[in-house]
Structure 1
C-alpha cells in the first residue's frame, strides 16, 4: 500500500564527506517507497556534494547556515510533508509508519524523541532530559528531526535566517499553531560532539546559550560565544 502522504527529507550539510554516504544510505528505504531526499550543501570544499549526488534526489547549493540551507531545501521540495534531518542523525526503521499516524492527526507538526549514540549512561540521561523538556514545553531542537506540513511551513515563512537557535525559534512559532506530535521511537544522533568537547562542558554550554537566548540576547552574539567555546575546547 502506498503511504498516505508524500515526504521530503531535507538534509543540510557542510564538510560532511566523512559521513554523508552513511547518512544517505540509511535513507534509501524511504526513497524506495517513493519519497524524496534533498541535500542542501552550504559550500563544502571537500567531496560532500560529489558523494551525495548518487544517493539523493536533488542537491541544492546555498549560503552556509542551517536555517538558510533548510529554507533552500524546502523551496524545491515536492512533498506535502517536510522533515528536516541533521547529517549526523538517523531515523528509526519505522519512521514512515509513525509519520502516517501523524498525517491522520490534526497536528501541524511534530518531532521524534532523541537518543545519543554510544553506551555511556550519561548519554541516556542527557537524552531523557532533552525529551522530557521538549514534551513539557513543546519546544524542540533540530536533533529531534522536526517535521511539518508543507502548507504550515509556507504560512510561517519557514526558519528565520539566524545563525543559532533557529530550531527553537521555529518550534516556538509552530506551537502557536498546534502542540507537536511526539514520536517516542527515537532518532539516533551521533554523540561525537559530546565526546570531542566533553559531555559536561557541552551540557553547560547548551544550557547557557538557551538561557541567554530566553533572556533576549541576539542569536548573532550567542553564535560568537558558541564558536569561541568550540575553538577553546579544540586546543
Structure 2
C-alpha cells in the first residue's frame, strides 16, 4: 500500500539510559532538517543524558526503563505523521528525511530501515554488515526471518501504520524483531541503500565472533518458542561472563 504522506513531519524517538557520551552526536545528525521533531525518552538515567538533551532544545520525556516501553512512550508523545526510532549510538545519514518520505511513498511499503555500517575498521565487522544487509534484502525467501532489520538500522513507519500494528511488544528482549515480523506480514519493508552508522561497542565488548553467535542463538531460540524472559537471563549472563 502506498501512503499519501507528502512532506510529512518526522518524529525521531530516541530511547536512552545513561547515554551522555552519545546523545549529543545522535541529536546532531537529525539537524538541521525541516519538519523534524526529536523526542528523547529517558529511562531514569543517572548521568547527564537528560541535561545534555535539554540543552540542545529537543523534547525530553521520562518513562519506566525498557526499550519497548520507552519507544511506545515516545510514539504516544509524537506529533508527526512519520515515526523514526533511533538508537542513541546510531547516526543518521545526511538527507535521511527525504529518503524516508520517498521510501514510504512506494507501493506496498509499510515501513523501512537503513543499511548498516558499523563504526570500526575490523574486517570481521565488514562480514557482520554484509550478513545483516543481505538478510534485509532477501525479499523472496519464504520465511519471516529475512527482510527483518534490526533496531540499530533506524526503523521508520507512519504513525497510522504504527497504530494499526499496535505498540512495540513490551518484552525484555526481541521487541524490535517481533514488531518487524508483524509489519512484514502487512507489506514490504523498504531498506534504504544509504547506511546509518552504528557504534561497534557491543561487538567489541565480547568480541565480534562471540557477539554475532550470541545474537543468532537468541533469534533461533525466540523462533523456537523460548520465552523472552528466559532468553534475556541467559543473554545477560553470557554477555557479562568474564573471559
Which of the five TM-score ranges fits, normalised by the shorter chain?
over 0.9
Query: Which residue number in structure 1 is paired with residue 152 of structure 2?
Result: 143
TM-score normalised by structure 1 residue count? 0.94
What secondary structure sits across from 2:32 in the alignment?
helix
Cα distance in 2 between the residues matched to 1:110 and 1:169: 15
Query: Which residue number in structure 1 is paired with residue 226 of structure 2?
Result: 217
What secondary structure sits across from 1:28 in the alignment?
coil
Cα distance in 2 between the residues matched to 1:199 and 1:103: 33
Cα distance in 2 between the residues matched to 1:132 and 1:170: 20
TM-score normalised by structure 2 residue count? 0.91
What secondary structure sits across from 2:152 in the alignment?
helix
Query: Which residue number in structure 2 is paired with residue 29 of structure 1?
Result: 32
- Residues 90-131 of structure 1, C-alpha deviations (whole Å, 9 max, x = no match): 011121221121232231111111111111111111011001
Equivalence map 1:12-51=2 (5 Å): 12-30=15-33, 33-51=34-52
| Offset of residue 57 of structure 1 | 2.8
- Stretches of 4+ moved more than 6 A in 1? none
Cα distance in 1 between the residues matched to 2:26 and 2:202: 17
5+ residue gaps, structure 1, are none
Query: Which residue number in structure 2 is paired with residue 122 of structure 1?
Result: 124
Cα distance in 2 between the residues matched to 1:34 and 1:184: 23
**More helix by percentage:** 1
Query: Which residue number in structure 1 is paired with residue 175 of structure 2?
Result: 166
Retained in 2: the 8 A contact 1:5–1:103?
no
Q: Are residues 1:206 and 2:193 paired? A: no
Retained in 1: the 8 A contact 2:118–2:129?
yes
Retained in 2: the 8 A contact 1:6–1:35?
yes
Rate the CA distance shift 1:56–1:173 in 2: closer, same or farther, 3 A.
farther
Cα distance in 2 between the residues matched to 1:56 and 1:133: 37
5+ residue gaps, structure 2, are 1-5, 139-145
Cα distance in 2 between the residues matched to 1:103 and 1:146: 12
Q: Are residues 1:10 and 2:19 paired? A: no
- Residues 144-199 of structure 1, C-alpha deviations (whole Å, 9 max, x = no match): 11101110101111200001001110000001111101101100100011112111
| Offset of residue 56 of structure 1 | 4.6
Cα distance in 1 between the residues matched to 2:57 and 2:82: 17
